[in-house]
Structure 1
Amino acid sequence: MKKGTIVDFRDGCRDAIPVCLGYIAVSFAFGIESSKIGMSVFQAIMTSLLNVTSAGQFSALEIIARNGSFIELAILQLIINLRYMLMSTALSQKLDPELGTGYRLGISYGVTDEIFALSVLKKGKLYPLYSYGLIFISVFGWVLGTGLGAFAGQIMPQRIISCLGLAIYGMFIAIIIPDTRTSKPVLMVVIAAMALSTIFTFAPYLKAISSGFRIIIITVFVAAIAAVYAPVKEEEHE
């Protein structure tokens, strides 16, 4: 059973530097948002350290702000982060079959979109020490940005904080727009999600549903429709 060497750890740290810099920028916005709902710097940092999931953390803030139920929060996180289960399954194919559960759990902690991409592109077997290098530097950037954002949110004027809070919307737009220009199914999914979100916000009875459950319902419904009418074919995936 090969666990890798210090060279693998160093390579992982080196490859994760761009991810670290990107994480600082995004998590700074999360820190700002967390301070707006009254979370302390320590609470914001621990949230990032224990979760390491941008979409999951941002979506949880609204539920936390209104003291939503744990069930609502758990279901929301399960749906939003479900893709990490698929990523972990794919990464397990690159690990030594004899690798122990402890090492696998350590790697699973840091499975994010960016770390998954770097791990998949790594030629040959995936050694734990390489993954730990990726995770160490990436999570450092994620936690550092969160701490800086949360601290800034406590000392900066409210007007500036509100402006910086718009960064998260800019990030989501930057993620969505490129794919909508090249893929009609993605464009239709975005339009459908926006339309349903508007309906749930203003329609009688439906607007009484909490925002957390709205996201859950819309996500499941739109994803199911897209899977039926615009499935990803095997050859396209490859």
Structure 2
Amino acid sequence: MNVGKFSDFRDGVRDAVPIFLGYIAVSFAFGIESSKIGMTVFQSAMTSLLNVTSAGQFSALDIIEKNGSFLELAVLQFIINLRYMLMSAALSQKLDPKVSILHRLGISYGVTDEVFGVSVLKKGGLYPMYSYGLITLSVFGWVLGTVLGAIAGQIMPQRLISCLGLAIYGMFIAIIIPDTREDKNVRMVVTFSMILSTVFAFAPFLNCISSGFRIIIITVLVAACAAVIAPVREEEDE
């Protein structure tokens, strides 16, 4: 079984530099938000180390703040992070069939959108050592940004923290707007999500549902409608 050489690990670290820099900025916003709900620096750092998922972590903050149930949190994370199962399955095709389950599990820990993008575009086969280099620096950047944000959230004035907290919304807007301009299906999904969120926030009975399960319901409804109305054709995938 060929797991790669140290040079492969070094190449992975090199290719992870852009991810590392981007993760520091995004996870800094998470650190700020986690500090606002009373999480310690250690708790924030461990959350990032054990999850490594921006959407999952940000969505979990509201449940944590309101002392939601573990079941609610688990279901939410499962649905939001379901895409990583598909990414891991795709990456497994680039691995040598003789690569052990232990190595496959190690790689799956760090599969994020960005890590997947770099890995899938790498020419040739994928060696565990390359993936470990890619994941190591990426996760380090994610945790480092979280720690810096959490520390800043504890020492900075509350007004400044509130202002920096807006960075998360700016980040999401920056992600959504370009795609909504280019793809009418994405625009439809975003619009439908906003309408449903408004309904669940103000409609009688529906506004009594906890925020965590509200996100779960809206996510499933929007995804199901999008799959029926605008399915991705096989030729588009290719």
TM category (shorter chain) comes to over 0.9
Structure 1, unaligned stretches of length 5 or more? none
Q: How many residues align?
A: 238
Say whether 1:212 aligns with 2:212.
yes
Residue equivalent to 2:179: 179
- Which amino acid counterpart does residue 157 of structure 1 have in structure 2? P
Q: State how far apart, in whole Å, the 2-side matches of 1:235 and 1:176 are.
A: 25
Shift of 1:61: 0.4
Task: Tell me whether 1:98 sits opposite 2:98 in the alignment.
Answer: yes
Measured in 1, the distance between the counterparts of 2:98 and 2:236 equals 32
Aligned counterparts of 2:164 and 2:180: Cα–Cα separation in 1: 26
Once the two structures are TM-superposed, the CA of residue 237 in structure 1 deviates from its matched residue by: 1.4
Mapped pair 1:113 → 2:101: no
The AA in structure 1 aligned to 2:116 is F
Q: Distance in 2 between matches of 1:69 and 1:184?
A: 37
Compute the RMSD of aligned alpha carbons: 0.4
Distance in 2 separating the partners of 1:131 and 1:2: 13
Q: Percent identity among equivalent residues?
A: 78
Matches of 1:174 and 1:87, distance apart in 2: 23
Q: Tell me, yes or no, if structure 1 residue 138 matches structure 2 residue 138.
A: yes
| Letter of the structure 2 residue corresponding to residue 124 of structure 1 | G
Cα distance in 1 for partners of 2:99, 2:87 equals: 18
Aligned pairs (5 A) from 1:63-78:
63-78=63-78
Query: Partner letter of residue 103 of structure 2?
Result: Y
Q: Which letter does structure 1 place at the counterpart of 2:52? A: V
Moved over 3 A (4+): none
Aligned counterparts of 2:109 and 2:208: Cα–Cα separation in 1:
36
Distance in 1 of aligned mates of 2:106 and 2:121:
20
Instruction: For 1:126 and 1:153, locate their aligned partners in 2 and report how far apart those are by CA, in whole Å.
Output: 39
Q: Kindly provide the amino acid, as one letter, of the partner of residue 208 in structure 1.
A: C
Please report the TM-score for the alignment, with normalisation by the length of structure 1.
Answer: 0.99
Secondary structure in structure 2 of the residue aligned to 1:22 = helix
- Secondary structure, aligned partner of 1:204: coil
Match of 1:6 in 2: 6
Shift of residue 143 of structure 1?
0.4
Give the Cα separation in 1 of the matches to 2:206 and 2:57: 25
Q: Deviations over 1:33-85 (max 9, x none)?
A: 00000000000000000110000000000000010000000000000000000
